[in-house]
Amino acid sequence: MQLVIVTGMSGAGKSRAVEALEDIGFYCVDNMPPKLIPTFIQLCIDSKRDRVALVADIRLGSEFTELFDILSDIKDVKYKILFIDADNEVIMRRYQETRRKHPLADEFNTSSILAAIEKERETLLDARQKADYIVDTSEIMSSQFKEKIVKLFLENVASSLKIYSNSFGFKYGIPKEADLVFDVRCLPNPFYVPELKNHTGIEEPVRTFVMKFRQAKQLEKKLYDLIDFLVPLYMSEGKSQLTIAFGCTGGKHRSVVFAELLNKHLLEKGADVTVFHRDITR
């Protein structure tokens, strides 16, 4: 059985993550008391449910601290932890827009949403450190978020290393989930070529322009050497998710070219890799 524990910050998007998991066949249960989890898992095994997701978060109160001890006692089922995160300011804005009350507001007798968020982040720090996958929803649209979740779990939840080759624009901020960030603003910019300005790095004319320069070809070779060296090390260390992000000014041209090139290279190496262009439509 494939078991996913969905946790993370209130207001970060756990409900949307569950919806995405349900769409690809997961049986999802929200906020089950940890002591009931072993019995529930056995029932799922008996009924041949092979894809299950459990949401466990700060709403459990003091019981949340029992979660990982109980999970560690389950010997026959391997599980992955999916942590949904977002910046404090983003979460605070979402609460203000929906006028909902933070789960910790009453417990800590505070009317400050930010104070409650900071307390929750402190409480969930250990869970975040244990997470196999971290998805930050601060700067992505709902459709992009769902696409990430679906691609992460659709084929094989137990994949040894899931790699994302991402592009982004520095003007919109560095992706919080990035493990490795490469700045390709040092390369000639197609934005200043009139016939290329309104095209993207997915298209051949832009890719041809970027890669015709000697420094771009050298960077490509050195990049492959570095990634080919690092990936086996990450796998041996037990890392489950690796996000490699390429940034240019707007996230439409140079960064897209290199994210696509790395994606192709890793696919040829047999890696489990997905390319993702955060800002290409901005």
Q: How far apart are the first and last CA of the chain?
A: 40
- pLDDT(154) > 80: no
Distance set, CA 239 to CA 18, 123, 131, 167 (Å)? 23, 23, 10, 21
Helix, strand and coil content of the chain, in percent to the nearest 5, comes to 45, 20, 35
Instruction: Report the pLDDT value the prediction gives residue 105, as an integer from 0 to 100.
Output: 79
Select the more confidently predicted residue: 228 or 155: 228
Partner residues linked to 66 by β-bridges: none
> What confidence tens digit (pLDDT) does each residue in 89-126 have?
999 999 888 878 888 877 766 668 888 899 999 999 99
Instruction: Report the pLDDT value the prediction gives residue 157, as an integer from 0 to 100.
Output: 39
Instruction: Report the pLDDT value the prediction gives residue 111, as an integer from 0 to 100.
Output: 67
How far from the centroid of its chain's Cα atoms is residue 47's Cα?
A: 31
> What confidence tens digit (pLDDT) does each residue in 52-98 have?
999 999 999 889 989 989 988 887 788 999 999 999 999 999 988 88
- pLDDT(158) > 50: no
- What is the H or E stretch that residue 7 is in? strand 2-8
Average pLDDT over residues 258-265: 98
Residue type (1 letter), 238:
G
CB atoms within 10 A of CB 281: 10
pTM score over 0.75: no
Average pLDDT over residues 226-254: 91
Instruction: Report the pLDDT value the prediction gives residue 144, as an integer from 0 to 100.
Output: 85
| Rounded Cα–Cα distance for residues 226 and 212 (Å) | 22
Average pLDDT over residues 235-261: 92
Any idea which of 126-130, 244-248, 252-256 has the lowest mean pLDDT? 126-130
